[in-house]
Structure 1
Amino acid sequence: MPERLAVHLNRDQPREVAPEAARLETDRSFVLAFENHGGPLHVHLHLDDALAKVARPEQTQIYVDEGETRRVEVVIPPDHAPTKGYVDLVTGYGAEEARVNVTVTAERKDGGPDVAVDETLSEKQQVEVESESSAGEVAWPAVGAGVAVVVAAALALAVSDGVAVFVGAFGLLAGVAAAAYVLYA
């Protein structure tokens, strides 16, 4: 995920441009987030020659409306050379200017590839659970198994010992089959 540097516009005075940090060290692409606290404003973005050899901004002329935040990614390819340079941020036709010193390192700090994470990931997700069967559909096999066990017990009491064992075993197997159906269906 690209690193982010906030740049405040019109915070204390008209056409003011104030980055949150005067320097940035990175090994990958980064985003300049222009947060406008006042009236509409044009910002000109300029990379010095050294930084321009390894980095390319998506836009160099940025219009930021009142109360708006605009993000501009400065793209640095993965196979870049290490370099030092700066980004000039200019407003008011050159009346106000700020500079961010940028050091681009060759090695990745985290040792892994970029992973883009959308801002919506931090929002609470709605989970909808859909049941394929109702409680009644699940209960009927269990009721049937219970009835079968009761019938088997009644038959066992009514008939001789040999038949009673057979009927009892049958009832037990029917109960196990019904339980398996309820669990795995």
Structure 2
Amino acid sequence: MMLDTLFRYARFAYAAAVLAAMPAPALAATNWKIDPSRTQIAFAIDAIGYPRTEGHFRRFEGRISVDFERPEKSSVAFHVQSGSVDVGSSSFSDYLRSAAFLDADRFPTIDFVSTSVQRVNDHMVRVSGDLTLLGVTKPLSVDVAVTRDAGGGRQRLEFQAETHIDRLEFGMNSGFPLVSRDVQLVISSGASDL
């Protein structure tokens, strides 16, 4: 009887040792689905002698993985269809899709993939990553305001970001210097947890 008890204890001790040696499971980040009806990717650019041009991109996809406890484990990726540019005029939109600007036939997407996410405060994070436009990749950091809403039994997030890019850095030099090199980007998005 004592031998049987010792044998069971030995098996228990072995199992406990194996479990103790295994790494604790990491806290998983939550994946969020971008809601196209609550997402807008807008831009504005100035030109001498012309009113400010404002427009949107109508087609895009994105994924957001958020770890509220450890923001550095979060990630963001957006892929925008460059041919979906819309400035309210079909002929002007077509011109922006041409090789003079977005060259949508050769470069059908504008891509942003995060490389790091840092907490700024309770309502803001700094997302750094790589922006690829016209086949050229440059680093970009954006401060993103985040609002979290758990109402209605389903968690929702709202994101708001504004930044500027220098289009000349990506080889988009048509119209310069009459057309500004500075492009303002405003991204607002809503997402629901999967």
Give the TM-score category using the shorter length. under 0.3
TM-score normalised by structure 1 residue count: 0.25
* Higher RCO, 1 vs 2 (CA within 8 Å, ≥6 residues apart): 2
Higher strand share: 2
TM-score normalised by structure 2 residue count: 0.25
Higher helix share: 1
